[in-house]
Structure 1
C-alpha cells in the first residue's frame, strides 16, 4: 500500500510539471500576473527548487493532510474535499447496498437453477447492464422517473437531512448500481455453479440434507470468498464511477468537483483528489483482504505454512 500510494503521489505531483502551460500560469489561475503575485506564487510553491525537492516537501505536507490552496477559490484543498466527499461516499454506499440486495440473490438463484427461465433472463440482464453506460442509464432514469412520472428529483444532493438525501440520491444510485449489479450477478452465478458441481454438494443431497441447510451451510459459505472479493471491487468502482453519474445528476460530490477542477485547471485540487481517492481505494482493498482472512480459514493456514 505504501509503495502504491507513493507512486500515485508522484504521478499526481507531476501533473503540475506536465501541464502544457507554465507552472506559474497554472497556479495564478484568474489572479492578475503582477510581479508581486508571481513572486509570491514562486515562493509559496518553491518553484525555484529542484523537482524532487519540491516533490518531497509536497509529499510531507500531503501526509499531514495539507495539499495547499485551491487555485479557483483560494480555500484549503483538504477542506473542500472533506466537504464534498461525504455525499460521494453516501452515493457509493447506497449503490453498493442496491447491488448486494439485487445482485446476490439473483446470482445465487440463477446459479442454483442453471438453464431455467430465470437463469436465461438473468444472463440477458447482465449483458444489457454491462453494455449500458452509466450516463445513458442516468438520462433515461431522469426522463422516466423525474420528468414524466415526477417521482424523484433529478439534480442535487438534498438539503442534508437523511430522507432528503436518500430521495435525491435514489436515481443516481440506481444508475450506478445497474452496471455493477450485472458484474456481481455474473460473479455470484459463476461461483454458485462451481459450488453446485462439487462432490460434497452431491453427497449432502444423497444423505438427505435439507435444501435450506445445503443453501446456507454449503452454498453460501463456499461462495462467500469470490463474492466478497467482487463486492469490494464493486465498492471501489461505485466510488470511482460516481464521477460520471454525479455530473449527470448535478450531485455536488467528489466526482463533480474533479470535473470542475479539471475544466479550470485547478491542479492543486486535482492532486489532492487523486491522492485521496487512491487512499480510499487502498483502504477498501485492505478491508477486503482482511474479510477474506476471516471468511476463509484456508488462507490463514496456508499463510502460516509458508511462514
Structure 2
C-alpha cells in the first residue's frame, strides 16, 4: 500500500473507532435505562417476597444506590464500567466481572464451533448449488429453506430429543469439563445454533457465485481455456468474497444473540443462559453487563469487517459499506 493509502486507511479506522465509542455510549444508556423501565425492582427480589420495615427497605436502597437520581446512577455505573467494574450480582452475590470471566469462555467456544459448522457447510452447499445446478441446486434450495424456517430453539429441542434422548449419542445438557469433553457436549448445541445460518450462508454464497459466473471476465477466462476449477477458485470465489465477508459479520452477531435460546435449552452455563436467568430475577448489574458485552462484540465484528473488506475486494473503497449501511 502507498503512503496515501495507509493514511486514508488510518483516518478511516480512527473515524470508525470514534463512531464505535459513541455508539457504545448510546447503547450503554439504553441498556442501563431499559432495566429500570421494566416492572418490579431489585429490592423486591432481594426481599424474596417478604415484607420489610421501612428501615430495612431504606437500607437496601442505600446499599445499592436505588434511591439516587437516574442520571447519577448512570454516571456512577458508567464510570465503574470504564474501569472494568460491572458491579455486584444481586442473584449470585459476587462480582459480575467474575461471572463473565467464568462463563464467557463456554459461550465463545460454542459460538466458535457453530461458526465453523456454518462456514464449512454453508459455503460447500452454496458452491455445489451454484456450480452443479439442476437437481442438485433444487435439492440445496429445499434443504436451505427448511433450515432457514427452523428457529434455533426448535432445532435444539429436536436434536436433543433425537440424538440425546432417543439415540443417546450425545449429552442432553451441560458444557463438560476439559477441551475435548466440552467439544463433545457442545456438538449438538453448535449444530442447533448453526442450522438457520447454514441455510442463510448457503443461499448468499449461491447467489454471489451465480452472479460471478455470469460476469464478463469469467466468460473470457473460459474462452481462453482456463480449467474450470481455476475459474471457480480465482474468478468466482474471489469475486464473491466481499458479499460473503459482509454476511459473516451478520452471522457472528446472530450467533451471539441466539446463544440465549440454545444455552437455555441445553442448560449450558454460558453468558446466554446467564442473561436469561438474570433477566427473570431482575439482576440489573448482570443484565446490563452481559447486554453491553454482546453489543461491544457485535460492533467489534462489524468494525473488523469494515477494515478487512477493502483488502479482500479492491472494488470496495474505504467507507463504502458504512455509507451504504
| TM-score normalised by the chain length of structure 1 | 0.91
CA RMSD in angstroms, aligned pairs only = 2.1
Aligned-pair distance for 1:16?
4.0
Residue 11 of structure 2 aligns with which residue?
none
Q: Note the C-alpha offset of 1:224.
A: 0.6
Give 1:70 shift: 0.8
Distance 1:158 1:302 in 2: 43
Map of 2:209 onto structure 1: 192
Matched, 1:21 2:63: no
Tell me which residue corresponds to 2:307. Answer: 290
Structure 1 match to 2:143: 125
Q: Which residue of 2 aligns with 1:202?
A: 219
Checking the alignment, whether the CA contact within 8 Å between 1:142 and 1:171 is kept in structure 2 is yes
TM-fit CA distance, 1:30: 7.2
Q: After the TM superposition, which residues 17-166 of structure 1 pair with which residues of structure 2 at under 5 Å, given as runs?
A: 17-22=36-41, 24-25=43-44, 33=52, 37-114=56-133, 116-159=134-177, 161-166=178-183
Q: Which residue of 2 aligns with 1:269?
A: 286
The equivalences for 1:226-237 within 5 A come to: 226-237=243-254
Q: Secondary structure at the match of 2:315?
A: helix
The whole-number CA distance in structure 2 between the counterparts of 1:226 and 1:34 is: 61
Name the CA distance, whole Å, in 2 between partners of 1:29 and 1:284: 40
Q: Name the structure 2 match of 1:241.
A: 258
- Find out whether 1:179 has 2:196 as its counterpart: yes
Q: What is the CA-CA distance between 1:49 and the residue it aligns to?
A: 3.5
SS in 1 for 2:94: coil
Range that drifts further, 134-143 or 279-288: 134-143
Question: How far did residue 87 of structure 1 move?
Answer: 0.6
Aligned equivalents of 2:236, 2:257: Cα separation in 1: 31
Could you tell me whether the CA contact under 8 Å between 1:95 and 1:177 is conserved in 2?
A: yes
The structural deviation recorded for 1:98 is: 0.4
* Structure 2: distance between partners of 1:4 and 1:135: 30
| Structure 1 unpaired stretches of 5+ | none
Contact map agreement 1:93 1:235 (CA 8 A) in 2? no
Report Cα offsets for 1:31-78 as digits up to 9, x if no partner: 984556544443344344432222111111112221211111211111
User: Do the aligned residues in 2 keep the contact of 1:15 with 1:271 (CA within 8 Å)?
Assistant: no
Counterpart secondary structure, 1:21: coil
**1:218-259: per-residue Cα shift (whole Å, max 9, x none)?**
011101111111122111111211111111111111111111
Q: Is the 8 A contact 1:27 1:267 kept in 2?
A: no
SS at match of 1:7: helix
CA–CA distance in structure 1, aligned partners of residues 319 and 273 of structure 2: 44
Give the TM-score normalised by the residue count of structure 2: 0.87
2:170·2:185 contact (CA, 8 Å) conserved in 1? Answer: yes
Rounded to whole Å, the distance in 2 between the matches of 1:301 and 1:61 is 35
Distance 1:203 1:16, change over 3 A: closer
Corresponding residue pairs, total: 302
Matched residues in 2 for 1:40 and 1:279: separation?
34
In structure 1, the residue matched to 2:16 is none
Task: From the superposition, tell whether residues 16 and 177 of structure 1 become closer, same or farther in structure 2 (CA, over 3 Å).
Answer: closer
Partner Cα separation in structure 1 for residue 215 and residue 276 of structure 2: 48
